[in-house]
Amino acid sequence: MSASVLAKFAGLAEQRRVLLGGGRDPFGVVFEHALSATEAVVDGRKVTLFGSNNYLGLNHDPECLRAAAEAARSEGTGTTGSRIANGTYGLHAELEAELAAFFGRRSCMVFTTGYQANLGMLSVLAGKDDVLLLDADSHASIYDASRLSQAQVIRFRHNDPDDLDRRLRRIGEIPGSKLVVVEGIYSMLGDAAPLAEFVEVKRRAGAALLVDEAHSFGVLGEHGRGLAEAAGVEADVEFVVGTFSKSLGSIGGYCVSDAEGFDILRVACRPYMFTASAPPSVIASTRAALARIARDPGLRQRLWENARRFYGGLENTGFRLGPRVSPIVAARMPDVPTAVAFWNALLDRGIYVNLTLPPATPDGQPLLRCSVTASHEVAQIDAAVAGFAAVAAALRLSLAAPSPAAG
């Protein structure tokens, strides 16, 4: 009985066996101990983390740690309830008010994970008569949300405002509403949406716009509010969704908006209503991290200095990367076996990066996806670049000629 239930995974199991041929399981790494924002222990050895999405390094920030510990001691380890029952503490309400203020928006809803924030917002906003328009390279949580929604779902070409425009024209006049979804920074290649152009298109069509700033919050914009701030179009973005599990160093998600009557969603949005709320320690450290981001633009400056150093280092070594400098630096690999061997060899040298494979990657191409943090030391970055170069040489990977700007 159980064998037949799992029979449909035979193909996936075979792909997985091939992946394991390189030695380790790339999707089953155990970090025996997390030592700091940039180091952990794997297989009993210290490794440097270049695949953590921990952009500002705040998960080991002393103030955030103290806030989490104090909240756990005074308020307990978990809320044991959902937001609409016994799971909304003063801490949750305060964080919502602080996030709304940070974004200069009227309302905020906090979710237990970033995944649930997308699942909840898209499924509740796009109803039966509505059309949801998704960028082709959207994160899995956006695709999953579209399946939970009752709306018609249309996919447009990645970062292509003209394609969105064509598809909006094809829809024409409908009784329901149109909701366009894009991301601030795309998690695979680190590229950003051409948001001002998207805004123009959606205004012409009378559509609403939701921007997922998961990877751009705390990273882009003069105040760290993300791509909408950087592009100067916040007034035209009806909904911003984001996560606590990247630059804020904990776990959770949110949506901020100026929409009139937004709070009705608290009793309509199922992924908000039917799961336990985040524990006090998580909410408390998130508040401390948000306060730090608000008062310390130096964090963002260090992040970008590190991103430029790492991106520049790999580019000068001859790796083919994403289109522009970003805290997400993705090295393109020619094929899956090379990517797996490269990933294992980097870990042998004490460098952890994310191995990402199609169909999770665009263009059907495997990537060694790296992320840089504000906490990386220059020496760690230079050592990682040297490690990439050494592994490329050992595997005889053909690289582009070093650029004249090298050094």
Residues classed as catalytic: 53, 139, 183, 187, 212, 215, 246
Among 359, 398, 401, 407, binds another protein (CB under 8 A): 359
Our finding on whether 179 is near another protein (CB under 8 A) is: no
Distance, in Å, from the CA atom of 203 to the CA atom of 84, rounded to the nearest integer, reads 35
Structure tokens at 208: 């609403």
Find where tokens 């297989």 sit.
43
Residue 72 lies near another protein (rule: CB under 8 A): no
Tell me whether residue 12 or residue 395 sits nearer to another protein (CB atom).
12
Running DSSP on this structure, what letter comes out for residue 1?
A: -
153 lies in the site for another protein, by CB under 8 A? yes
State the Cα–Cα distance between residues 25 and 13, nearest whole angstrom: 13
User: What does DSSP say about strands 45-49 and 351-352: parallel, antiparallel, or unpaired?
Assistant: parallel
Is 170 a binding residue for another protein by CB under 8 A? The answer is yes
Choosing from 136, 235, 393, 395, the residue that interacts with another protein (CB under 8 A) is 136
Size of the site for another protein (CB under 8 A): 17
Q: CB of residue 169 vs another protein: minimum separation in angstroms? A: 10
358 counts as binding another protein under rule CB under 8 A:
yes
Among 155, 266, 308, 320, the residue binding another protein under the rule CB under 8 A is: 155
Identify the bridge partners of residue 59 per DSSP, sorted by sequence position: none
| Selected range binding another protein among 76-84, 112-120, 153-161, 287-295, rule: CB under 8 A | 153-161
Q: Does 308 bind another protein (CB under 8 A)?
A: no
CA distance 36 to 165: 46
* Residue 207 interacting with another protein (CB under 8 A): no
Q: How far is the CB of 257 from another protein (least distance, A)?
A: 25
Question: Which lies closer to another protein via its Cβ, residue 133 or residue 381?
Answer: 133
Q: Is 171 in the site for another protein (CB under 8 A)?
A: yes
Residue 192 gets which letter from DSSP?
A: B
Q: Give yes or no for residue 152 binding another protein (CB under 8 A).
A: yes
From 175, 298, 364, 407, residue interacting with another protein (rule: CB under 8 A): 364
Q: How far is the CB of 358 from another protein (least distance, A)?
A: 7
Dihedral (CA of 220, 115, 110, 52) sign: negative
User: Which amino acid belongs to residue 118?
Assistant: N
DSSP code, position 392: H
128 contacts another protein (rule: CB under 8 A) = no
* Distance set, CA 249 to CA 69, 141, 201, 233, 299 (Å): 15, 19, 34, 27, 13
Min dist CB 348 to another protein, Å, is 30
Find out whether the peptide bond into 359 is cis, omega within 30 degrees of 0: yes
Residue number with CB closer to another protein (118 or 146): 146
Computed from CA positions of residues 305, 308, 311, 316, in that sequence, does the dihedral angle turn out positive or negative?
Answer: negative
On the CB side of 212, CA atoms within 13 Å amount to 32
Residue placing its CB nearer to another protein in the complex, 150 or 403: 150
Contact 321, 369 (CB under 8 A): no
Interacting residues toward another protein by CB under 8 A: 131, 134, 136, 143, 146-147, 152-155, 157, 167, 170-171, 358-359, 364
